[in-house]
Amino acid sequence: MNVPPPPKPVAFPHRHLLGIEGLSPEEIVTLLDLAEEAVAVNRQIEKKKSVLRGRTQINLFFESSTRTQSSFELAGKRLGADVMNMAVAQSSVKKGETLIDTAITLNAMRPDILVVRHHAAGAVELLSQKVSCSVINAGDGAHEHPTQALLDALTIRRHKGNIAGLTVAICGDIAHSRVARSNILLLNALGARVRVIGPSTLLPSGIERLGVEVFRDMRKGLAGADIVMMLRLQRERMEGSFVPSVREYFHFFGLDAEKLAFAKPDALVMHPGPMNRGVEIDSAIADGTQSLIREQVEMGVAVRMAVLEALSAHLPND
Amino acid sequence: MAERNNGKDERPLVFTNARVVDPSRNLDAPGAVIVADRRIVAAGPEAARPAGAEVIDCGGAIVAPGLVDMRVFVGEPGGEHRETFASAGRAAAAGGVTSIVMMPDTDPVIDDVALVDFIGRRARDETGVRVHPMAALTRGLEGREMTEFGLLREAGAVGFTDGRHTVTSAALMRRALTYARDFDALIMHHAADPTLVGNGVMNEGEVATRLGLSGIPKEAEIIVLERDIRLAALTRGRYHAAQISCAESLDIIRRAKDRGLAVTCGVSINHLTLNENDIGPYRTFFKLSPPLRHEDDRLAMVAGLADGTIDVIVSSHDPQDVDTKRHPFAEAADGTVGLETMLAAALRLVHSGDVDFVTLFRALSTRPAELLGLEVGRLAPGAPADLILLDPDVPWVLEDAEALLSRSKNTPFEGARFEGRVLRTLVAGRTVYAYAPA
C-alpha cells in the first residue's frame, strides 16, 4: 500500500471537538474556511477525498438522530473513512453497562474517531477522558452541539459575508437547547450581537451573563435582526409543564410573516431541525424565500468534513 | 466500644505541654490534660500528676475534645460495599471523629427498635469509635407515618430524621415536632422541597446555565426552612436544620433564634470550604445535596459559623462508589466522603483568621454533643476521655484518594493542600488512632 500523503497542516491544535467553548475565533474561522472548501467538493460529481483513508469512525448515538448522524456518516465516508453507526438505546445502557464501560469497550476496537451524542450534559467530555481516539461532540444534553453552531455560522457567512456586526435573534426553548449555547458562544466569539427570545420559563437563570440581550416579547426581540434562528420545542415541554399549550406558544413565539416583518427586510430564517411546523414556525416561512433551512443541511455535511479533517492532523500515524 | 475494656488496669495518662482547647469552658490555654479510668480528671493549667501515669509530651500541640459528627451515612447494613462500621470507624478515628451519628438511610431503614439495637451491638463489635443511630422520622423514610419516637429513644436513638429525604407534609412535620417534645427528642431535617429540586443537579444560576445542567433554586431550601420554623414556633419542638447552604437560610435561622425558638442548624464542611465553581468540568465528587452554592453563600456560611448562628459542622460523609459516581453529572449520585478530611478542611477557616479554635471545636464537638444529649464534647473533669491530639500547623497534601481509609474514595479534596493533622485520637481514654508518618 502506498503511503498516503501527509495531511495538510491546519491551524487547529485540538485533539477533540467537545464544544465551541475553548476555541479561539481564529480556530473557528479555520474550520469555516476548511468547510468552504468542502462545500465545493460536495458539489462536484467526484466527492471522495482520502484524508481519512484507512481510518475508522464510529458514530455512537445514545440519543436517536437521523439528521446529525447521517450527516456525520456522509462526511466521514466522503473523506475516505470506514464509518460504523452504533445506536445505543437508552434503555439497554440503563440496564447495565455504564457510559464508561461502553467507552472502554469501544476503545478496545481501536477506532480513530468517535462521534458521540448523549442525553446528559458533560457525557461526551467524560467519555473523551476514557478513550485514546479523537472525540467529536454531536450534542450532549443541554450543553453544546458545536458542529451545529459551525454549520449555522457557515450558512450565515455565505449569505452575509461576515458574522461580525450582525444581530442574531435566537428564539424559543433556550433553557433546554445545546444549539442555543453553542451558537451564543460562537456568534459572540466572531463579534455578532446575540439576542435570545422566549417565555421566562424557557430562559435559564443567568443567561444574560453569557453575553446576550434577553427579550420576552418576540416583536421587540426581532426588531432590526439580520438573522432569526428558531429552536425546536419538544412536545413534552409544551403541554402544561413549561408553556400552557401549543396554541398559546405559537401565538406568542411562533414565527409567522407578521412577526418576521419586525426583523430587517433581508433577514434570514434558520432552524436546526427537525421542525414542528405550526408550533415554532409557520410552514410558509419555513419554505419561503428568506429561509435557509435546507441550505443548513448541506452546510452540515461540509462542516463535519472540515472538523474531521482538522482533527485528522492529530490522529496517530504509527 | 472502649468501655467494655476494663479501664481500671490501664495507667492514667497525662498530656503535658499541651494547648488545651475546651469550648465548654471557653478555654484555649497552655496546660495539661489528665485522664484516668476512661475519664477526664483535669484539663487546664499543669497540675500534680497521678502516680504511675504515662506522660505524653505534646510539644505544644492542641488537645481538644473528639469530634461529634452529626450527619454520617454508613453503608452498613445494606451497602457494605460502600462502607462498613469498621471502615467508617477507621476513617473517623483518623479524622479525629470520636462519635459518629449515623443516618437511618440504610437497607433496611433504621425505623424500628430492633434495628437500633442491632446497630448498637454491631458498631460496638466492629469499631473503637462511638456510633449513635438517628432513627427515621417516618416509617421507611416514606414521609407518611411517624415512627415510635419513645421506644426508639429508649433503645438509643439520639434523634429523628428522614436523612436525605424531606418531609413534604406540613401536617406530619407539625405532629412530629409536637410529639417529639414529650421525649425531648431532636428533629433533624434535610430541607429541600422535592418539587422545586425537580430534576435539578446543581446550584441554579450562571454556572449551571453554562454547563447545560438543570439548576436547584435556593428557594427549595428556604421555603421548607421557613415552613419548619413556623411549625417549631407553633409546637415549641426542638428543630435542627441538618445542613443549610445559602445566605438567606442563615437569616431565617438567626431570626428564629432571636425569637427564642429551639431552632439550631448545621452546615457541611463542603459548604464552608467549596463553591459551585469547584464542579469545573462536570466533576461528580462535587455533586451534593444541597448543592454547592455561590461563593457569596460560602462566605455567609463562614460568617454564620463565626457569629454562632451555625451551631454544628458536619462531614455529611456519604460514601459512594464508581457504580454511583462514574456517570455523567446529572446521572451520578449525590454525596462525598468527609470523616477523614473534615477537621483538616475546617482548619483552613482558622488559618484564614475567620474563626478561632474554641469556635471551631464548639461546632465540631461541644455543640453537637449538647444537642444530642451526649456527655462527650468537652474536656471538663468527669467527662468521658474522648479527645484528640492535633498539630494544627503541619502541612500535608491528600495526594491520592486511594489512601483514604474509608472504603469509598469519593472525596472532593483529592490533591488538596491542608495544614493540620490529627496525631492521636482517644475514645474513653483508649487510643483508637495514632498518626504514623510514612
Give the pLDDT confidence score for residue A58 in this predicted structure.
96
Among A285-299, B45-59, B108-122, B417-431, the range scoring the smallest mean pLDDT is: B45-59
| Contact flag A141-B212 (C-beta cutoff 8 Å) | yes
Residues of A in contact with B281 (CB under 8 A): 122, 125
Judged against a pLDDT cut of 90, whether residue A189 lies above it is answered with: yes
| Contact flag A144-B206 (C-beta cutoff 8 Å) | no
| Residue B323 lies inside a defined structural domain of this protein | yes
Residue type, B249: S
Residues of A in contact with B328 (CB under 8 A): 99, 118, 120-123, 126, 141
Average confidence (pLDDT) over B349-373: 98
Residues of B in contact with A62 (CB under 8 A): none
Nearest alpha carbon to residue A270 among A165, A260, A304: A260
Q: How far is A119 from chain B (nearest CA, A)?
A: 9
* Mean of pLDDT over chain B: 95
Q: How far is A176 from chain B (nearest CA, A)?
A: 8
* Mean of pLDDT over chain A: 92
- Please give the residue of chain B at the shortest CA–CA distance from A121: B212
Among A125-129, A275-279, B290-294, the range scoring the smallest mean pLDDT is: A275-279
Average confidence (pLDDT) over A70-74: 97
pLDDT band at A315 (very low <50, low <70, confident <90, very high): confident
| Residue B118 lies inside a defined structural domain of this protein | yes
**Which residue among A123, A178, A204 sits closest to B209, beta carbon to beta carbon?**
A204
| Residue B415 lies inside a defined structural domain of this protein | no
Q: What is the pLDDT of residues A106-150, one digit of tens each?
A: 899 999 999 999 999 999 999 999 999 999 999 999 999 999 999
| Contact flag B327-A98 (C-beta cutoff 8 Å) | yes
| Contact flag B206-A210 (C-beta cutoff 8 Å) | yes
| Residue B43 lies inside a defined structural domain of this protein | no
Quote the CA–CA distance of A167 and A212 in Å, as a whole number.
11
| Contact flag A205-B210 (C-beta cutoff 8 Å) | no
Name every residue in A having a CB less than 8 A away from some CB of B. 21, 98-100, 118, 120-123, 125-126, 140-144, 178, 181, 204-207, 209-210
**Which residue among A142, A144, A205 sits closest to B205, beta carbon to beta carbon?**
A205
Judged against a pLDDT cut of 80, whether residue B8 lies above it is answered with: no
- B296 part of contact set with chain A, CB < 8 Å: no
| Contact flag A204-B215 (C-beta cutoff 8 Å) | yes
Give the pLDDT confidence score for residue A9 in this predicted structure.
53
Give the pLDDT confidence score for residue B323 in this predicted structure.
83
| Residue B397 lies inside a defined structural domain of this protein | no
Judged against a pLDDT cut of 80, whether residue A236 lies above it is answered with: no
The CATH number for B234's domain is 3.20.20.140
Residues of B in contact with A141 (CB under 8 A): 212-213, 328, 330
**Which residue among B209, B330, B331 sits closest to A207, beta carbon to beta carbon?**
B209
Residues of B in contact with A103 (CB under 8 A): none
Judged against a pLDDT cut of 80, whether residue A238 lies above it is answered with: no
Q: What is the pLDDT of residues B318-327, one digit of tens each?
A: 999 888 998 9
Among A95-109, A231-245, B4-18, B187-201, the range scoring the smallest mean pLDDT is: B4-18
- B210 part of contact set with chain A, CB < 8 Å: yes
| Residue B418 lies inside a defined structural domain of this protein | no
Cell for B305? 459559623
**Which residue among B210, B217, B329 sits closest to A120, beta carbon to beta carbon?**
B329
- Please give the residue of chain A at the shortest CA–CA distance from B330: A120
Among A240-249, B178-187, B331-340, the range scoring the smallest mean pLDDT is: A240-249
| Contact flag B211-A121 (C-beta cutoff 8 Å) | yes
Q: What is the pLDDT of residues A280-298, one digit of tens each?
A: 999 999 999 999 999 999 9
Quote the CA–CA distance of A288 and B365 in Å, as a whole number.
72
pLDDT band at B9 (very low <50, low <70, confident <90, very high): low
Give the pLDDT confidence score for residue A92 in this predicted structure.
55
**Which residue among B206, B209, B331 sits closest to A120, beta carbon to beta carbon?**
B331
Residues of B in contact with A198 (CB under 8 A): none
- Please give the residue of chain A at the shortest CA–CA distance from B280: A122
| Contact flag B206-A209 (C-beta cutoff 8 Å) | yes
HEC assignment per residue over B17-30 = EEEEEEHHHCEEEE
**Which residue among A21, A99, A204 sits closest to B328, beta carbon to beta carbon?**
A99
Cα maximum dimension of chain B? 68
Q: How far is A98 from chain B (nearest CA, A)?
A: 7
Average confidence (pLDDT) over A54-81: 95
**Which residue among B205, B212, B282 sits closest to A142, beta carbon to beta carbon?**
B212
| CB < 8 Å from A in window 312-341 of B | 323, 326-331
| Residue B47 lies inside a defined structural domain of this protein | no
Range of the domain at B267: 66-372
| Contact flag B212-A205 (C-beta cutoff 8 Å) | no
Q: What is the pLDDT of residues B59-87, one digit of tens each?
A: 999 999 999 999 999 989 999 999 999 99
| Residue B36 lies inside a defined structural domain of this protein | no
Average confidence (pLDDT) over B217-238: 98
- B199 part of contact set with chain A, CB < 8 Å: no
Q: How far is B116 from chain A (nearest CA, A)?
A: 34
Q: What is the pLDDT of residues B130-164, one digit of tens each?
A: 999 999 999 999 999 999 999 999 999 999 999 99
Give the pLDDT confidence score for residue A86 in this predicted structure.
85
pLDDT band at A2 (very low <50, low <70, confident <90, very high): low
**Which residue among A118, A181, A206 sits closest to B328, beta carbon to beta carbon?**
A118
- Total number of domains constituting chain B: 1
Burial B393-408 (b: 16+ CB within 10 A, else e): eeeeebeebeebbbbb
**Which residue among A98, A121, A126 sits closest to B212, beta carbon to beta carbon?**
A121
> How many cross-chain Cβ pairs, A to B, lie less than 8 Å apart?
72
pLDDT band at A18 (very low <50, low <70, confident <90, very high): very high
- B216 part of contact set with chain A, CB < 8 Å: no
